[in-house]
Chains A and B, each alone.
Chain A
Amino acid sequence: MKSGHKPKLAVWKFASCDGCQLSLLDCEEELLAVAGHIELAYFPEATRAEIRGPYDISLVEGSITTPHDQHRIQKIRRQSRLLIAIGACATSGGIQALRSFARVEDYVRVVYAHPEYISTLERSTAIAKHVQVDFELRGCPIDKYQLLEVLNAYLNGRKPNIPTYCVCVECKRRGTPCVMVSRGEACLGPVTQAGCGALCPAYARGCFGCFGPMENPHTEALSERLKALGVSEGDMIRLFRSFNAGAEAFRKESKAHVRIEK
């Protein structure tokens, strides 16, 4: 995009650990280059300067967990031309979506001395459950190169190269022998979206599913295989219930094992 106007970028936070926003700061040198092309209009983690909206791009981290969040995300949407949800919390509800499998009042009573002050929702949900999201960047946390790629693509008016196939493709491209086949390790790679560069298998660990379900996740087939490798139903529930427990494909698969376990 070659106009005089520098697009204004805002970074927003909901229920999350800040890890994804930090990925942007972690870009260091690249961030300086980005700053040459984009105006950081609202990014409390990086600068106290604040420029009023509307914004060309809003990066939204975190999930919606309170009535206040519900209200705030609508306001952000109205102020943003392009809204990009970043990270597992914003795209599937995050680890805090585990609350969906229990009664939230039970937690509140156990954790807080004055439960009456707590105003929270039954579920922790993805941004797309509340407003129109233009693009989702997966990961717990997101991959900084994917973030740069999305911003770069936006600046140059092209399609971002963000694949939706599974981790196995990255695993094979980097020449990592499969850990399920060669070690009998449980790996979520076949059902998890690529993006991390198949980091865990490269260190002889199974994939934890940080990037959530891939385009055609066949979780039942994977579970069949995990069962054959000796993974218990309980462990299978835990495998599918982590950072992306709220993602539909993982949620459904974890529930199937709850039924079997009972």
Chain B
Amino acid sequence: MYILEREYLAALATLLLGRGYELIGPKLAGGVITYAPLAGIEEMARKIRDAQGPGHYRSSPGEEDVWFSYVPGAASLKPWFNPPKCLVCRMRGSADEFLNETPPVTAPKRAFIGVRACEVAALRMQDKIFLEGPYADPEYRARREGALILAVNCSHPAETCFCASMQTGPKATTGFDLALTEISAKGKPAFLIEKGSDAGGELLGELPVRMATAKDKEAAILVSERAAQQITREINPERAARGLAAGLEHPHWATLESRCMNCANCTLVCPTCFCSTMEDSTSLSGDTAERWRLWDSCFVSEFTYIHGGSIRKSGASRYRQWLGHKFSHWHKQFGASGCVGCGRCIAWCPAGIDITRELAVFEASAPATARETVR
């Protein structure tokens, strides 16, 4: 582990930009922090506080001398890896030929800075979905390969965060190239840096770092411990999964139907939701046809449209799909919960629905396990 004085983070940014990386990091725009291209560290959101709650987000200047006194806001890293709209193929045909004119998938080299533990976990989940299944997605692969992940361990979790109970944060343990913890070292603001990959190690070689002392390491541990203690929301993923599996006809779905607007915001802001639809289009003359992939959602009727109509006709059934997939059958499909506890679906639900509270209802009605019964 190494120490980099805070002012030299700019050197890391300059190094990456100089090597032709597009630098993506948290940026404040219109009062909201979101990932955006940065021309340098001075453009990155610093010393900002965010107040988040169900259906609520506000930011304000922070009072402490802490750069990362916020968690990432509106959008996750998802659009940078799984873009909202992308071309799948382009074909051109005439009476005597048929040409595949699909351009090769390319993506700029990108370095992501200020990535939080939940986000790293979400990225690992997306890897599972887009790269590790029987078919790798070329779009995702092009964007993922060579992407640098420079994580920051959270010190100021938002009121909506519950990564601790999902065991994805607030400290990143794997899946990054470098991970930074903001501490005070020898009386100066600094970052304790952990190396997560050879690429990360090589970057460190170019920076004015020194070895971390035992005291520095303790300071970093304390930051993460304090952050974990500040997290107030929680769920019990195992009980929730059990309660949902047993609660397909639970009366609470009707309550949720009465509050949910079917707007799909929750799924679109979720860093692990990956559903898409295909749209076929043509040139006016009909010579060229294109297929586009667009983000879709289980809250959209056409998403389940088959002959005879949409399968999920009621709001209750759509809500059940969202919660049931994410917190229950995702375990079977991908070997983990589909939630990383980032809290985005809570803050960015315009109706202010808080999934941790809704899940508590299903946790409470979960049938006892064999072990619990014996006791």
Binding site for B on A (CB under 8 A): 1-2, 30, 33-34, 36-37, 148-149, 152-153, 155-156, 158, 161, 163-166, 168-169, 172-175, 177-178, 180-183, 187, 189-191, 204, 214-216, 218, 220-222, 224-225, 228
Contacts and interface: CB of A to CB of B under 8 A. Distances in A.
25 contacts: A34-B284, A36-B284, A37-B284, A152-B282, A165-B264, A166-B262, A168-B263, A168-B265, A168-B268, A169-B264, A172-B268, A177-B57, A178-B74, A178-B265, A181-B347, A182-B58, A189-B263, A190-B265, A214-B262, A215-B262, A221-B258, A221-B261, A222-B350, A222-B351, A225-B350
Contacts of A189: 263, 350
A211 B10 CA distance: 47
Interface of B: 30-32, 34, 55-58, 73-75, 79, 84-85, 258-265, 268-269, 279-286, 294-295, 297, 299-302, 315, 347-348, 350-352
Contacts of B284: 30, 33-34, 36-37, 148, 152, 155
- Chain A interface, >50% SS class: helix
Task: In the A-B complex, list the 3 residue pairs whose CB atoms are closest, starting with the nearest.
Answer: A172-B268, A190-B263, A173-B84
Contact of A177 (B74, B261, B285, B352): B74
A173 B282 contact: no
A158 B302 contact: no
A180 B55 contact: yes
Contact of A182 (B32, B279, B299): B32
B286 A155 contact: yes
A110 B52 CA distance: 52
A36 B34 CA distance: 45
Contacts of B300: 165, 169, 215
Contacts of B259: 221, 224
A257 to B, nearest CB: 17
Contacts of A156: 282, 286
A177 B33 CA distance: 9
A218 B258 CA distance: 8
Nearest to B268: A172
A180 B350 contact: yes
Given A158-B282, A225-B350, A172 B295 contact: yes
Contacts of B294: 173
Contacts of B30: 177, 182, 204
A56 B282 CA distance: 20
| A1, A33, A180, A189: residue with the most chain B Cβ atoms closer than 10 Å | A180
A175 B57 contact: no
Contacts of A37: 284-285
